[in-house]
Chain A
């Protein structure tokens, strides 16, 4: 049985319909993410699980028990807030031990629990530190320790890494993942960073406009997006105009393609043909094309050099706009320049045709 189940949940703020018929289940020990652009309702959904917002209709269950009408302080959830919400007038140890105030543990037992929690997040010996004398990453860890000390069934995290710089964020991503496996608690993470969601999650719910557009593990989300909006949001995808009749697709710049059923999303007619950058290759002299692949002629319009790889914007002959092609920079392989001719090898089985209305 799933640990959390959300059934037909709606949330209205006055006239504004913030959550529209949300249905999802999260399993015990799962790392689950809510992903979507700003304003799509991720925080609202998280707060209905935490008990800070009432649902307008629908059901929220944790461990089988209905949470409707149960206040936040009686739910088996704890939250890491986006601002961390570290109590500024307390020491680190007082912050971490705050949730134990009502527990029946003795003073010594509480101190031990606080010490263990601090050790778990790598803040050994920080207990006496004043809360305001912490760096962003340290505040993040204190917030984590404070929320985990009560051993909740579910830990809710609202964009916990968005305030950190890139290096720190990457470090915390792997640390959060490690911590989650270690404690075995279900994590629900809110993020608008698709890369972060892909790296960390067992499953991801992609939300747009208060609705769940797709709920899948990261690989399915990336390779089998439910619609064009999801495909655009997850990873990089460039689109070329095309026309589809049954399984026959005509793509500007690429020509005729026969599609397999799982490449077809939405209705036939004028379609948008989605291509991932890694599904195409620029043919250098040292390479031979796979027999199943096809080759198109193009010109490099622009490029971005990342060190380990280069992202090329290549305009194929007959295409109205360039496609993005990623190439690894192997030793001895040249980096093309703007205006260079490029032969692009592409795999007909890797493209996706999104119908006019999907």
Chain B
């Protein structure tokens, strides 16, 4: 009974995604069964669509910058949270995590109001990056929290005891030991930013991101198989990145010599 339940559940969850590659390689222009024949035409079309390439470049830049900033903030927040006591600590750490439960549309609309109405700035990739950092930092912080919790504080003290300064201790001991967490945080932030639609939709001016560009393609039924091809590539990429992140996290645990207490993923 339970098994049937799980199978139905998984089917609902993943069947639509499995349909992506099916239609991406189908030569018919209409998304319907029965299938026509095999083609790589839709992928070829992707290769020559210039607007798409621009959107991809925009997305990659935004995702990369977002990942670096979120991870740096995550390192700082996690280190402060795990190692130090200070007044207002719980409130500060709580606020960092709020975007996890905040509807993205709220973030998007309020940032739009601030940037356009109040500050009078133009929308740019910078505004999207700012918003993406906001939603990615909680994830980075959560991952790095685990890294710092698994790091025995006496390792850092031992390095200082043996004559190293605080900064060289961070470089020689802390950084190498939390590196798997940093890589995982980078990859996850990158993936979240790359896939994010609502915020990018509201805040992108003349420079659409990939998800926004895909959405705009949907208005042309002719292009739907192309979207399917693009979607296939994105799914494969996302799965790849998340797998790398998880491998990196597990390697970190092994290196720290602790038991796996259930992953972030």
- The answer for the CA separation of A102 and B160 in the assembled complex, in Å, is 12
A89 within 8 A of B: yes
| B side interface size, CB within 8 A | 18
- The answer for the CA separation of A78 and B163 in the assembled complex, in Å, is 9
Q: How many Å from the CB of A20 to the closest CB on chain B?
A: 23
A72-B160, A73-B160, A132-B257 known; A85+B165 contact, CB < 8 A: no
Contact between B154 and A85 (Cβ–Cβ < 8 Å)? yes
Q: How many Å from the CB of A94 to the closest CB on chain B?
A: 10
Give the residue name and chain of the A residue nearest to B158 (CB).
A85
A82 within 8 A of B: yes
A52 within 8 A of B: yes
Contact between A73 and B161 (Cβ–Cβ < 8 Å)? yes
Contacts of B201-249 to chain A: CB distance below 8 A: none
Instruction: Please tell me which one of the listed residues B157, B165, B176 contacts residue A89 in the complex, with CB atoms under 8 A apart.
Output: B176
B155 within 8 A of A: yes
Give the residue name and chain of the A residue nearest to B179 (CB).
A89
Contact between A88 and B158 (Cβ–Cβ < 8 Å)? no
- The answer for the CA separation of A88 and B162 in the assembled complex, in Å, is 16
Contact between B163 and A87 (Cβ–Cβ < 8 Å)? no
Give chain A residues whose Cβ lies under 8 Å from the Cβ of B255: 88-89, 132
Contacts of A67-105 to chain B: CB distance below 8 A: 71-73, 77-79, 81-83, 85, 87-89, 98-99, 101-102
Q: How many Å from the CB of B167 to the closest CB on chain A?
A: 11
A85-B152, A88-B256, A89-B176 known; A150+B158 contact, CB < 8 A: no
User: 10 shortest A-B CB distances, which residue pairs?
Assistant: A99-B162, A85-B158, A85-B154, A81-B154, A79-B161, A73-B160, A85-B155, A89-B176, A73-B163, A72-B160
* Residue of A50, A73, A150 ringed by the most chain B CB atoms within 10 A: A73
Give the residue name and chain of the B residue nearest to A72 (CB).
B160
B22 within 8 A of A: no
- The answer for the CA separation of A234 and B173 in the assembled complex, in Å, is 40
Contact between A50 and B158 (Cβ–Cβ < 8 Å)? no
Contact between A87 and B164 (Cβ–Cβ < 8 Å)? no
Contact between A78 and B155 (Cβ–Cβ < 8 Å)? no
B73 within 8 A of A: no
Q: How many Å from the CB of B168 to the closest CB on chain A?
A: 8
Contact between A146 and B177 (Cβ–Cβ < 8 Å)? no
Give the residue name and chain of the A residue nearest to B157 (CB).
A52
Give chain B residues whose Cβ lies under 8 Å from the Cβ of A79: 157-158, 161
On A, residues with C-beta under 8 Å from B are: 50, 52, 71-73, 77-79, 81-83, 85, 87-89, 98-99, 101-102, 132, 146-147, 150
- The answer for the CA separation of A147 and B154 in the assembled complex, in Å, is 14
Give chain B residues whose Cβ lies under 8 Å from the Cβ of A71: 160
* Residue of A50, A83, A87, A147 ringed by the most chain B CB atoms within 10 A: A87
- The answer for the CA separation of A81 and B255 in the assembled complex, in Å, is 20
- The answer for the CA separation of A77 and B165 in the assembled complex, in Å, is 15
B93 within 8 A of A: no
B56 within 8 A of A: no
Contacts of B143-159 to chain A: CB distance below 8 A: 152, 154-155, 157-159
Contact between A72 and B155 (Cβ–Cβ < 8 Å)? no
Give chain A residues whose Cβ lies under 8 Å from the Cβ of B176: 89
Give the residue name and chain of the B residue nearest to A102 (CB).
B163
Give chain A residues whose Cβ lies under 8 Å from the Cβ of B154: 81-83, 85
Give chain B residues whose Cβ lies under 8 Å from the Cβ of A87: 155, 158-159, 173
Contact between A101 and B152 (Cβ–Cβ < 8 Å)? no
- The answer for the CA separation of A98 and B154 in the assembled complex, in Å, is 15
Give the residue name and chain of the A residue nearest to B256 (CB).
A88
Give the residue name and chain of the B residue nearest to A14 (CB).
B85
Contact between A72 and B257 (Cβ–Cβ < 8 Å)? no
Give chain A residues whose Cβ lies under 8 Å from the Cβ of B157: 52, 72, 79, 81, 85
Give the residue name and chain of the A residue nearest to B152 (CB).
A83
- The answer for the CA separation of A81 and B156 in the assembled complex, in Å, is 11
Instruction: Please tell me which one of the listed residues A50, A52, A85, A150 contacts residue B163 in the complex, with CB atoms under 8 A apart.
Output: A150
Q: How many Å from the CB of B140 to the closest CB on chain A?
A: 22
Q: How many Å from the CB of B76 to the closest CB on chain A?
A: 22
Contact between A73 and B155 (Cβ–Cβ < 8 Å)? no
- The answer for the CA separation of A15 and B20 in the assembled complex, in Å, is 63
Contact between B164 and A73 (Cβ–Cβ < 8 Å)? yes
Give chain B residues whose Cβ lies under 8 Å from the Cβ of A77: 161
- 8 contacts across the A-B interface (CB closer than 8 A): A52-B161, A71-B160, A73-B162, A88-B257, A101-B163, A101-B164, A146-B162, A150-B163
Give chain B residues whose Cβ lies under 8 Å from the Cβ of A99: 162-163
- The answer for the CA separation of A101 and B168 in the assembled complex, in Å, is 11
